[in-house]
């Protein structure tokens, strides 16, 4: 079983309500709600998104906030509802997954191989590849341990599982707590992959499941995200070094603030 957490920040300016609706409708078609549950955290979105969320089906829970607290802290509010031995998913609100029961596949991977801390779906724009000469983007392909009669599942071991849709092993969360993000946007997934590795876990993609990023970009909001991420890059590398050198604990509380 898994708790699927999604942070939503839609405004009239970024015009993302359309993507939120398409993503939620995708979840309703592809997630087995007899096993998994969805918690949406709304970072004070616009009236159009709030109106849609007011009509959400009973299988989806909504946490409403009065301000934007950022991606990681919003997801953490959803994850605080997780049960014992329940895996957690971080999912963006601008993706379509075409394979039914994809969450079951990710859960199966974590349950079969307890050394895997994070398993994610691989977007088409990811750079990870076994032939990529850059160390950070180099990956290794192997098969999940197989039992006759079960499907073969290919895995791609990587340094960074992009956070578009990723499932966290509950045993990993016991060691690292919650997502950590020094600002409102970016690097929570990259830092989580670093923390997982320091905690002794592997991070992998299940590359055969198709996932489409439906936000085409080219907007002022996308430009802001790129500028904001660029300004945070030096801080990311500093935090990465502190985690890897054990100067900073990999464990994070749900509302942890950045401490220089």
Q: Residue 260 falls within a domain, yes or no? A: no
Mind listing the pLDDT tens digit of every residue in the chain (260 residues)?
999 999 999 999 999 999 999 999 999 999 999 999 999 999 999 999 999 999 977 889 999 999 999 999 999 999 999 999 999 999 999 999 999 999 999 999 999 999 999 999 999 999 999 999 999 999 999 999 999 999 999 999 999 999 999 999 999 999 999 999 988 888 999 999 999 999 999 999 999 999 999 998 888 888 877 887 888 899 999 999 999 999 999 999 999 876 65
124 half-sphere exposure, CB direction, 13 A CA radius = 9
Domain residues for 117?
A: 2-244
Q: Residue 50 falls within a domain, yes or no? A: yes
Burial status of residue 152 (CB atoms within 10 A of its CB: 0-12, 13-18, 19 or more): exposed
Question: What's the CATH number where 181 sits?
Answer: 3.90.550.10
pLDDT at 56: 78
pLDDT at 170: 98
What backbone torsions phi and psi does residue 110 show, to the nearest 5 degrees? -65, -40
Q: Residue 67 falls within a domain, yes or no? A: yes
Q: Residue 201 falls within a domain, yes or no? A: yes
Q: Which residues pair with 97 in a beta bridge?
A: 211
Q: Which residue carries 């197989």 as its tokens? A: 146
pLDDT at 223: 87
Domains held by the chain: number: 1
Q: Residue 27 falls within a domain, yes or no? A: yes
Q: Hey, is 171 helix, strand or coil?
A: helix
Q: What is the DSSP track for 26-76?
A: HHHHH--TTT-EEEEEE-S--HHHHHHHHT--TTEEEEE-SS---HHHHHH
Q: Hey, is 64 helix, strand or coil?
A: strand
What backbone torsions phi and psi does residue 83 show, to the nearest 5 degrees? -95, 180
DSSP annotation of 33 = T
Q: Residue 79 falls within a domain, yes or no? A: yes
Q: Residue 84 falls within a domain, yes or no? A: yes
Dihedral over Cα of 169, 174, 175, 178: its sign: positive
Q: Residue 249 falls within a domain, yes or no? A: no
The Cβ of residue 73 has, within 10 Å, a number of other Cβ atoms equal to 23
pLDDT at 259: 62
From first CA to last CA, the distance across the chain in angstroms is 37
Q: Confirm if 26 and 96 have CB atoms less than 8 A apart.
A: yes
What backbone torsions phi and psi does residue 91 show, to the nearest 5 degrees? -135, 135
């Amino acid at each position: 079983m898994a708790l699927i957490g999604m942070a939503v920040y839609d405004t009239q300016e970024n015009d993302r309500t359309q993507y939120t609706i398409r993503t939620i409708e995708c979840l309703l078609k592809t997630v087995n709600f007899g096993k998994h549950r969805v918690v949406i955290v709304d970072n004070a979105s616009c009236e159009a998104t709030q109106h849609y969320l007011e009509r959400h089906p009973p299988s989806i829970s909504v946490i409403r906030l009065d301000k934007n607290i950022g991606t990681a802290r919003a997801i953490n509010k959803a994850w605080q509802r997780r049960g014992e031995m329940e895996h957690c998913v971080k999912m963006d609100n601008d993706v379509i997954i075409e394979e039914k029961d994809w969450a079951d596949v990710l859960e199966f991977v974590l349950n079969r191989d307890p050394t895997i801390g994070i398993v994610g779906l691989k977007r088409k724009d990811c750079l990870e590849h076994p032939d990529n000469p850059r160390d950070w983007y180099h990956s290794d392909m192997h098969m999940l341990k197989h039992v006759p009669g079960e499907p073969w599942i290919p895995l791609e071991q990587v340094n960074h599982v992009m956070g578009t849709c990723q499932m966290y092993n509950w045993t990993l969360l016991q060691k690292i707590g919650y997502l950590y993000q020094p600002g409102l946007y970016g690097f929570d997934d990259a830092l989580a992959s670093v923390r997982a590795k320091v905690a002794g876990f592997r991070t992998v993609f299940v590359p055969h499941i198709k996932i489409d990023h439906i936000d085409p970009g080219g907007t002022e909001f996308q430009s802001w995200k790129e500028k904001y991420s660029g300004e945070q890059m030096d801080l990311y590398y500093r935090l990465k070094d502190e985690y890897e050198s054990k100067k900073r604990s990999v464990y994070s509380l749900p509302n942890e603030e950045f401490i220089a």
